[in-house]
Structure 1
Amino acid sequence: MFENLNEKLERSFKLLKGQGKITEINVAETLKEVRRALLDADVNFKIAKSFTENVRKKALGMDVLNAVKPSQLMVKIVHDELAELMGGKFIDINLKGNPSVILIAGLQGSGKTTFSGKLAKMLKSKKGRHPLLVACDVYRPAAIEQLKVLGEQIGVPVFTEDGSKNPVKIALEAIRQAKLQGNDVVIIDTAGRLAIDQEMMNEISAVKDAVKPHEILFVVDSMTGQDAVNTAKEFNDRLDFDGVVLTKLDGDTRGGAALSIRSVVDKPIKFVGTGEKLDALDNFHPERMADRILGMGDIVSLVEKAQEQFDEEESRRLQQKLAKNQFSFTDFLKQIQQIKKMGNLKDLAGMIPGMGKALKDVEIEDDAFKHIEAIIYSMTVAEREDPSLLNGSRRKRIADGSGTNIQEVNRLIKQFAETRKMMKIVSQGKNLNRMMGNAGPKR
């Protein structure tokens, strides 16, 4: 995400390289390129102009330390302004009330129904909630069926009323059912349209007035750029929503919606959709997004994603196996499966500082581990636990069973042996450091 914007901003900062100090002239040249980069990303012209003016004032008002290069200072100022432009700080969803009622609004095709499923899964798995999904799109039967399928996939009940064309009645009955069933969150998926019209606005306003939601979220397709921002303003004027959800941020998006929408509607971005999978939903952190836009990675989010998948007990068990050189193909397979649960592989790699740029033109498919998994699954339990058993005939059988060839099997076994050796060294190094720390002088 934001690859083009990152590339153009980097190019603008290069104008300050080799400069001994910040001046009116070199700042003006740099910010001219920054403004052009923002406009190319479909950022509103007034916002781009205001942004660069704020950066100019801060840059010229600062004394540059000898240890800080002008280009480094400019990156820092632009980073802070980008974070501020997108809201400054993380604002979580409001889950007050029992049940908490969340109303989902947006145009048709923006991803409301999918987001509703993703949100239900997130609240269930990460916050221990018991959500109820409500199908209030009475005009599109496919939306109701889609919500039912999503609910079944994530183990969340879906409330529907066959034949009813009254979304207010459906929503009120769903809340009543939620109280009886012990559902502490009600997520209401409403109808969308191809364009804003008075009938749609009247209908969703009526639902809002009837259910008095604790949270109204406006879902917008980030790939629609500046149009998304204009739509958000019209919805906000009518609904006064609480937060924005940007979907399809993993696609070929220029980033204008993410950078402009906060300034236009004065409402925080709360969630971003980063893929098609049901766990591809992230809380929106303005500072972390600014890091990613400027190619600095996002280590904090990467660590959080890892912590969600790797439990401490499993890590301790793995540490012991590494120290004894007992790390097996079974363990390797578990690690692969946990990494896959963390999300899109290229997106994850982009969270590592410098990797986003390195992988700009590299395609990393979601099924990148497919052949490795097929090879390991074609091994017997004994072979997975003891790779020394893998002689020539066994390797041939594994290649045939996995639909690969002997060269791929040999390559994986060799890479596994080298990885295991390296992991043992690292593990022993950690243990050695711990022992040395414990052996220090006692006070």
Structure 2
Amino acid sequence: MRIGVIGTGHVGLITCVSLAAIGHKVVGGDNDPEKIALLERGVAPFYEPELQPMLEQQLKEGRLTFTASPEEAVKDAPVVFICVGTPPRVTGDANLVAVEQAARAVAPHIADRAVVVEKSTVPSGTAQRLKRTLQRGRPQPEEHLQVVSNPEFLREGKAVHDSMHPERILVGGEAEWAFEAMREVYKPLTDQGYPLIETSIPTAELSKHASNAFLAMKISFANALARVCEKAGADVVEVADAMGADTRIGRAFLNAGMGYGGSCFPKDVQAFEHLSRRLGYDFRLLQEVARINAEAIDSTLEKVRDALWNLEGKTVALLGLAFKPGTDDIREAPALTLGAKLLAEGAKVTGYDPLAAANAKDALPELEIAPDPLSAATGADCVVICTEWPEIRNLDAGELKEVMAYPVVVDGRNAFDSESMADHGFLYYPTGRPPLL
């Protein structure tokens, strides 16, 4: 099947590559000619494991092409995916300008009978507006156009794997012929046993926000629990293990730390809370989820203050700058929020990250980037573990202490073993465990 994809950001490019990999003829369209030039040369504009070789393979085999003309991307395509960004407004709701602009641009060029797939994360009710916008720009009868909701459930750092091995494929629609088209799109995956769930459009739209908000809630619960554990002398990791052994709860996303970040959870929690208020329900639980998430960074900062007393003139090394391992994404990264607060209090801040260093430097120019963890820690009065990359987890405690000016580690991810840190004479502040002073 020929498929057009509008938008080649994280979701759009993963969609292009994965649909081509299961046998479709895919054209990715984007109005950024520089990005298209990169993609045509087989260069992914961001890091995602497995993406680069898969992109090269699909281009080589001729199943994937790119164009700087979104209109060209949708030509003769019976199915069109819209994958443009929906960033948050200052008010908290999703900014849908790019969705509307994409719809207006491609409407006159969509095939006579077509299914337009809403892949971007959007609030409930967007599909109706999208269909009206598309229909205004088309001469064909209204019954020849269907809009369906097909939200993505990709994890950054595992997005290619998730697209090829989905836990569920959710499709919300109205007309049977639209559902049939989507069954054909995903047949190579459903034939392997991956489930396709068909539902209404509002249900599918809401499911994405609800899923991300629930996962963010688990993280915030773990972080609130960590504050209690620190005061009670308990170990939050062991408490989470005990809780997670109950299959009704599960262990995933119960990791206390410096909070969630990235392009999805902060935006989606905020957007879902805003949508709920617009619909007449004050979803206070989501407000608390966001508040506790911000509190996790402040708790880490307070430990640095406790260890160093005054921050002015002190050197603090941040190990890990991406919002999580396996990505170069620094959007809403706790490390950068913490770094900005440390700089505001007069500290000198150095940082290391195997993938996100350049992005972090662009976002926080005062940050001094080091080529490896030990270089970042050299001369530091305090090291803060912000992202649990393997090369950070596996640091030799003796070597780390040797290069530091003062042996203080604030472990925002519980990456290190408390006993080992004590044996090497560190002042060690873990998360959700009593400090070793």
TM range (shorter): 0.3 to 0.5
Could you tell me the TM-score, scaled by structure 1's length?
Answer: 0.36
Higher helix share: 1
Structure of higher CA gyration radius:
1
Q: Per chain length, whose mean CA-contact separation is higher, i.e. which structure has more relative contact order (CA < 8 Å, sep 6+)?
A: 1
Higher strand share: 2
Could you tell me the TM-score, scaled by structure 2's length?
Answer: 0.36
